[in-house]
Chains A and B, each alone.
Chain A
Amino acid sequence: MSGPAGSVALTLRLALLSMISFGGFPSVLPDIRNYVVAANGWLTDREFANFFAIAQVLPGPNIILMMSVIGWRVGGIPTAIATALATFGPPCTMYYLAYRLWDRFRDAPWQRIARRGLVPVTIGMIIGGGTVMARAADTNWQSVIVTIIAAALVVRVRVNPLWVLVAAGTAGGLGLL
């Protein structure tokens, strides 16, 4: 598939995946790779990995950025805009409706109980998610130290995390990590 038909198919595919990506968008990344690399040959594996890396180092919502770069590769700027919208548009509507519903019953006793139960699980998953990321990112002792310092700074000091990222990125760019 190529040309406009390919752009439309990719956009619809992303709109669908974004609505079923329970647990976060990374859960459907393998499916997207299969679709754009293996099934349609729009990108090489190398390009897919590079787009991922680019989206990680640049500011902004990185998954949406990655999808728009894939769209750009498939059908230029119009497809880039369409794929970006497909990635966050449908979930935004779902977030809004779910939040309205949740907010309406804010003071209901069942919700206070649900909150007491859910919040600890969420927090555990955030710390766990950070640890999983650290395991992938920390390939040597220097980068382990960077991770520990960054965590300690957030817990102990109200430093702007941006400076931590800039310092670590500079060290990495200079080949120190």
Chain B
Amino acid sequence: MADEDRSRVERASLSALFVGFLKVALWSVGGGGGIVFARRLVVEQRRWIGDDEFADILSLCQFMPGPNMVGIAVCIGSRLRGPAGVFAGVAGFTVIPLTISFSFGTWLLRNTDLALLQGILSGVSAASAGLLIGTGLRLLTPQRDRPTALCFAALAFGGLVFTKLPLLAILLGLAPLSVTIAAMAGERTK
């Protein structure tokens, strides 16, 4: 286990983190796409961490304020290479993508037909919603043998989709209950 951890850390060079999160940022169009590409990079392609640990980091980031995607770069950078990894991940995620998109965006705002832009946006946002749903379903796979986990996933889903409650209220309402039940289930299996 310790050996396995070390080899993972060796494989994650600072430049790989920088380039990896640069790609995640460049590809995440349309909001929510960041999770899709971040999972693809760190779990499927680089295999830096598994689906379980990725879901773990997502949970932590969701609790914290701020743009959650940057939080993923911070946590994974820190997990693999410490503070230097944080800087590599965050710099990759922000500097070049923001420079490109800012230049292009301000140019577009002065020169383009916004109807065309709205058309492209409608296609991209329909697809990115689907990509996000699909990624969530993939993350749910390791949980599928735990009825209580599926039940709380369904409650969180329902709370977000069918009520007008703010995200944080749902999180604070369900999380303590879910953790308590997990604790009780843990006692029983021991």
Contacts and interface: CB of A to CB of B under 8 A. Distances in A.
Given A58-B29, A118-B175, A125 B109 contact: no
What bracket does the count of chain A residues touching chain B fall in?
35 or more
B127 interface: yes
A171 B68 CA distance: 29
B154 A124 contact: yes
Interface residues of B, number: 109
A177 interface: yes
Given A50-B109, A162-B27, A164-B131, A123 B65 contact: no
Contacts of A92: 66, 70-71, 74, 86, 90
B120 A57 contact: yes
B84 interface: no
Contact of B65 (A22, A62, A139): A22
B130 A147 contact: yes
Interface string B65-93: 11111110011001100010010001001
Contacts of A9: none
Contacts of A5: none
B120 A132 contact: no
B126 A21 contact: no
B170 interface: yes
Contacts of A102: 60
Contacts of B156: 120-125, 128
Main secondary structure of the interface of A (DSSP, over half): helix
Nearest to A145: B126
A110 to B, nearest CB: 8
B83 to A, nearest CB: 8
A130 interface: yes
Given A57-B117, A120-B156, A137 B129 contact: yes
B182 interface: yes
A64 interface: yes
A58 B157 CA distance: 28
Contacts of A87: 66-67
Interface string B111-133: 00010111111111111111111
A170 B170 CA distance: 36
Interface in B156-186: 156-161, 166-168, 170-171, 174-175, 178-183, 185-186
10 contacts: A61-B98, A72-B106, A124-B158, A128-B159, A135-B161, A146-B130, A151-B133, A153-B130, A167-B127, A173-B120
Given A57-B120, A125-B62, A165-B30, 10 more contacts: A60-B94, A88-B67, A91-B66, A109-B186, A126-B58, A130-B136, A143-B126, A147-B130, A151-B130, A164-B130
